[in-house]
Amino acid sequence: MHIINDIKRLNVGKVIENVVLKDYTTYKVGGKAICMVIPDDENNLITLIKYLDENKIKYKVLGNGSNVIFNNSGYDGVIIKLDNFNNLKIINNKIIVGAGYMLNKLALRVSRLGLTGMEFATGIPGSVGGAVYMNAGAYKSDMGYIVNSVKVVTPDYKIKILYNKDLKFRYRTSFLKENTGYICLEATIILIKGNSEEIMELIEERKKRRIETQPLEYPSAGSVFRNPEGNFAGKLIEDIGYKGFSIGGAKVSEKHANFIINNGGATGEQIKELISKIQKDIKEKYDIDLKVEQEFVE
């Protein structure tokens, strides 16, 4: 395929042909993409996206695939993975970290050092870039509380620093999510000095609770719906009798109704169909519009 040959000639990093997306998502669903490119550095990333834009080839920057749903019919574009953007520098309470670094790994590392503020992130299996993009959060905290600034590539291929006020963090969204021409390269996070024993005790306590209440033994992408104001999405879904309801291999968890799991052989299309059915039935019964936290990639 000429696109793959062109990209290889650019010499921007590793190119994986006929990549199967289910191998790169926590739902374990998704067909093939044209290819996956893992750029070596910022300059190579810019060279790559310039080529893709000039040739009108669509692309998706993918973190750990922990919040996205690809169709099993495939993705007719290029996947970009920032695995090589994994630098980490800790200066007192300031963390400078690459977009490809795993969020839960970072959260555990800084927590053990006695830095507080990232405890919420120890159970989130995304990349730092993905977490900034969607303003990942839990336990009434999120990235918006700790991110001081991010280094990005702009739509006109410039490297720029965006500060917290520029990033417009809100519940599960940010400036980057609403302006997808910007790509997060690196984040600067500011934490507070705390007591490492107390921090780790809290993390362990929450970990036990997650194991007891969430279907972590199955492929999923965490909570499917945002909690409506004054209510809980999981309770609403449970109240309409949908715990255990399935379409093909996509199933509402019996452990936590706001989780959809891949119960074996699920397709992205089945997960979307199940999400749509839940939204429709909740709307009919309660007149509540459930908003999806996960991202459908067409």
Residue at 208 is within a domain: no
Amino acid identity, position 195? N
Residue at 243 is within a domain: yes
- Choose the final residue of a domain: 197, 228, 251: 197
**Percent of the chain clearing pLDDT 70 (strictly above):** 100
Q: Is residue 42 among the annotated active site residues?
A: no
Question: E strands along 137-289, which residues?
Answer: 137-138, 141-142, 147-153, 159-163, 183-190, 192-193, 220-223, 246-247, 250-252, 259-262
Asked whether the CA dihedral 282, 287, 288, 292 is positive or negative, the reply is positive
Residue at 185 is within a domain: yes
Query: In this structure, are 19 and 117 located in the same domain?
Result: no
Spatial separation of the C-alpha atoms in residues 72 and 247, rounded to whole Å: 15
Residue 220 has, within 13 A of its CA and on its CB side, a CA count of 24
Residue at 203 is within a domain: no
Give yes or no for residue 116 having a pLDDT over 90. Answer: yes
Q: Rounded to the nearest 10 degrees, how much is the dihedral formed by the CA atoms of 61, 139, 235, 268?
A: 10
pLDDT at 81 (0 to 100): 98
Query: In this structure, are 190 and 222 located in the same domain?
Result: no
- Choose the final residue of a domain: 197, 228, 254: 197
Query: In this structure, are 170 and 101 located in the same domain?
Result: yes
Give yes or no for residue 236 having a pLDDT over 80. Answer: yes
Q: Is residue 201 among the annotated active site residues?
A: no
Indicate which CATH number applies to the domain containing 161.
3.30.465.10
pLDDT at 297 (0 to 100): 96
Strand partners, 210: none
Residue 88 has, within 13 A of its CA and on its CB side, a CA count of 14
Q: Is residue 172 among the annotated active site residues?
A: yes
Q: What SS3 class is residue 245?
A: coil
Residue at 142 is within a domain: yes
Candidates 111, 149, 223, 253; catalytic one: 223
pLDDT at 254 (0 to 100): 97
pLDDT at 127 (0 to 100): 97
Is the distance from CB of 25 to CB of 68 less than 8 angstroms? yes
Residue whose token pair is 């879904």: 237
Residue 217's pLDDT band, with cuts at 50, 70 and 90, is very high
Q: How many domains does the chain have?
A: 3
pLDDT at 253 (0 to 100): 98
Is the distance from CB of 63 to CB of 129 less than 8 angstroms? yes
Candidates 66, 127, 149, 172; catalytic one: 172
Tens digit of each residue's pLDDT (9 = 90 or more) over 16-34: 998 999 999 999 999 999 9
Query: In this structure, are 94 and 77 located in the same domain?
Result: no
Tens digit of each residue's pLDDT (9 = 90 or more) over 171-197: 999 999 999 899 999 999 999 999 999
Query: In this structure, are 185 and 227 located in the same domain?
Result: no
Spatial separation of the C-alpha atoms in residues 85 and 129, rounded to whole Å: 10
pLDDT at 181 (0 to 100): 94
Query: In this structure, are 274 and 236 located in the same domain?
Result: yes
Query: In this structure, are 157 and 225 located in the same domain?
Result: no
Residue at 116 is within a domain: yes
Candidates 66, 174, 220, 293; catalytic one: 293
Range of the domain at 188: 88-197
Residue at 204 is within a domain: no
Average pLDDT over residues 207-215: 95
Query: In this structure, are 166 and 181 located in the same domain?
Result: yes
